[in-house]
Amino acid sequence: MAIVTMIEAITMALAYELEHDKDVVLLGEDVGVNGGVFRATNGLQARFGKERVIDTPLAESMIAGLSVGMAAQGLKPVAEIQFMGFEMSAWDHIYSHAARLRNRTRGRLTQPMVIRMPCGGGIHAPEHHNESTEAIFAHTPGLKTVMCSNPTRAYGLMLAAIRDPDPVIFLEPKRIYRIVKQEVEDNGEAAPLEMCFIDREGTDITLVSWGAMMHETLLAAEALAKEGVSAEVIDVATIAPLDIETILESVRKTGRLLIVQEAPRAGGVASEIAAEVAEKAVTSLLAPIGRVAGYDTVMPYYKLEKMYMPTTDRILTAARDLMEYA
């Protein structure tokens, strides 16, 4: 059992699969010699060789296209797109081929591939380095979309993503790569995909989030507990396909729902969750569904970045409003 950061847990999972499955291949810009821009693949090329951990040119379209071809021929590529904001250069291959090949070939070919993307803000990066566009992937049939929130979950979900027969978009909030440490056993045990995790049980209000925002959401739940409010906290984890039943069960118990996302408010995953709950559990609601989100603008640079991103105080204000609703 090792006490590791989230980035170290991801490295552990990648190393485990490289060691135990000869079909697993890593590729991307600087993933080999330099060990990745955030060091997620640090030391893996030296350990497993240049044919298993492949440095590519600065060409996201090529990285995605190679991955589609590798997966169609029986390999299990794990490709890194250095920043989520660069994924549009790879989008044609992801959308037109990776997500559709199983259907196109009537199941003859699958796409056991993972595309890793550091995502989100909080590190004072410039434009195209701080996006949260998970809703785009969630809206694309044929893709599974995962966002990890802590080291334990990152390790288990990465293993599950690599072993899945279909393409998985694996989103890694870079703001929390190194801010939390947990005990992680490198035992090769995968976490289940396609389900939410209840990180804190409660009876008065349901708080739903994913990725880096789980940090602020759990802090808000602790603060609410001191005020006598029992908050249930759910980590969505797998954004698509969405485990709405876990959320519905919680809302039917608490009667109140607040959804927290870093992404812009309009057209986001929070909107989909809200719609599902409104359709299937409206009679259980004691208050309107609340959302705390980023703003409908490009995330501003540097100091203004903090004003854009949801904070624990914003979550608390929204939760208190829902508790006071009559």
Q: Tokens 């004691």 appear where?
A: 286
At residue 79, the 3 state secondary structure works out as: strand
Any residues with CB less than 8 A from the CB of 25 and at least 6 apart, and which? Answer: 51, 52, 53, 54, 70, 75, 76, 77, 78
Cβ neighbours for 277, distance < 8 A, ≥ 6 positions apart? 244, 247, 248, 251, 257, 285, 289
Cis, peptide link before residue 141, omega less than 30° from 0: no
Q: CA 268 to CA 186: how far, in whole Å?
A: 34
Q: How far is CA 232 from CA 97, 197, 308, 316, in A?
A: 39, 11, 25, 14
Contact present, 64 and 27 (Cβ < 8 Å): no
Instruction: For residue 262, count other CB atoms closer than 10 A to its CB.
Output: 29
Among 128, 129, 139, 215, the one annotated catalytic = 129
Q: Can 129 be counted among the known catalytic residues?
A: yes
Residue 5: which residues within 8 A CB-CB, separation 6 or more?
151, 177, 178, 179, 180, 181
Which residues 6+ apart lie within 8 Å of 187 measured at CB?
Answer: none
Report how far apart the first and last C-alpha atoms of the chain are (Å, whole number).
49
CA atoms within 13 A on the CB side of 7: 18
The CA–CA distances, whole Å, from 136 to 145, 148, 241 equal 10, 17, 13
Catalytic residues: 129
